[in-house]
C-alpha cells in the first residue's frame, strides 16, 4: 500500500489553491513535489517556465546553461536581476528559484549540452523542457529524448510569434524530426 505524503503546515498553505482543486488535490501536489524537470536554457523561454514550475512546487528543477547574464537579457529573462549581470545564469536561476520556493531543489548544470553528456543527463529527469536557441541543440534534444523515452515540452519564439508543443513519440506522436526533417538555415534562428 502506498504511504500518503505528509505535508507541513507551510506547504498546506502554500499549495492550498492547488489542493482545493479536485483534479490536483494532495495526491497531485505530492506528484509535483516528486517530479524532476530538466530545463535546457535559462533564457527567454527557460526563465518563465522554470519560475512557474517552481511556484507550482515541482520539486527538482535541473537547469542547463553555459552563459553568463548580460544586461540585454533582462528585458525578458525574468530569473535574472540587474545585480546578476556577469554571473553564470545557472547561479542566478538557482538563487531566484529557491528564493521563490524553498521546497524546490535546483540542480545547476553549467555545461553546453552535447552528444557526450546528453544521455546521462536526460536519464535523471522525467520531463525535458526545451528552451534552446539553436536548431542543432533542438535536434540533439529530440534524438536523446527519443532514445531515453522522455517527453519534451518544446517552446520557440520569434519576435511576436510563438510555438509550444509536446513531443512524445513513445506515446504515439511525431518527433521533432518528423515535423522538421531538415535543419533550416542558421539565419532563421536568431539567438
Return the ∠ at Cα 94 (arms to 49 and 62), rounded to 5°: 60
For the record, the C-alpha cell of 134 comes out as 539553436
Confirm or reject binding of residue 175 to Zn ion (CB under 5 A).
Answer: yes
Confirm or reject binding of residue 180 to Zn ion (CB under 5 A).
Answer: no
Confirm or reject binding of residue 178 to Zn ion (CB under 5 A).
Answer: yes
Contact letters for Zn ion, residues 125-164 (x by CB under 5 A): ----------------------------------------
Q: DSSP alpha helices (H): ranges in the chain?
A: 9-14, 16-19, 25-34, 46-56, 89-100, 118-123, 135-148, 176-179
Alpha-carbon gap, residue 49 to 77, rounded angstroms: 10
CB of 109 to Zn ion, least distance (A): 26
Q: What count of other Cβ atoms lies within 10 Å of the Cβ of residue 111?
A: 14
Alpha-carbon gap, residue 164 to 48, rounded angstroms: 13
CB of 143 to Zn ion, least distance (A): 9
- Residue placing its CB nearer to Zn ion in the complex, 110 or 177: 177
Residues in contact with Zn ion, counted by CB under 5 A, come to a total of 3
Confirm or reject binding of residue 177 to Zn ion (CB under 5 A).
Answer: yes
- Residue placing its CB nearer to Zn ion in the complex, 12 or 178: 178
Residues that bind Zn ion (CB under 5 A): 175, 177-178
Amino acid at each position: 500500500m502506498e504511504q500518503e505524503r505528509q505535508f507541513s503546515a507551510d506547504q498546506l498553505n502554500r499549495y492550498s489553491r492547488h489542493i482545493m482543486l479536485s483534479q490536483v488535490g494532495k495526491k497531485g501536489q505530492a506528484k509535483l513535489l516528486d517530479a524532476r524537470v530538466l530545463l535546457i536554457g535559462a533564457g527567454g523561454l527557460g526563465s518563465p517556465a522554470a519560475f512557474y514550475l517552481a511556484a507550482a512546487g515541482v520539486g527538482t528543477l535541473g537547469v542547463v546553461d553555459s552563459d553568463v547574464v548580460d544586461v540585454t537579457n533582462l528585458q525578458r529573462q525574468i530569473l535574472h536581476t540587474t545585480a546578476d549581470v556577469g554571473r553564470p545564469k545557472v547561479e542566478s536561476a538557482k538563487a531566484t528559484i529557491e528564493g521563490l520556493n524553498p521546497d524546490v531543489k535546483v540542480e545547476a548544470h553549467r555545461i553546453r549540452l552535447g552528444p557526450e553528456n546528453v544521455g546521462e543527463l536526460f536519464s535523471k529527469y522525467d520531463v525535458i523542457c526545451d528552451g534552446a536557441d539553436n536548431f542543432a541543440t533542438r535536434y540533439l534534444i529530440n534524438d536523446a529524448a527519443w532514445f531515453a523515452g522522455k517527453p519534451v515540452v518544446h517552446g520557440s519564439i520569434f519576435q511576436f510569434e510563438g510555438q509550444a508543443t509536446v513531443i512524445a513519440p513513445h506515446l504515439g506522436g511525431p518527433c521533432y524530426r518528423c515535423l522538421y526533417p531538415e535543419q533550416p538555415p542558421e539565419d532563421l534562428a536568431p539567438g
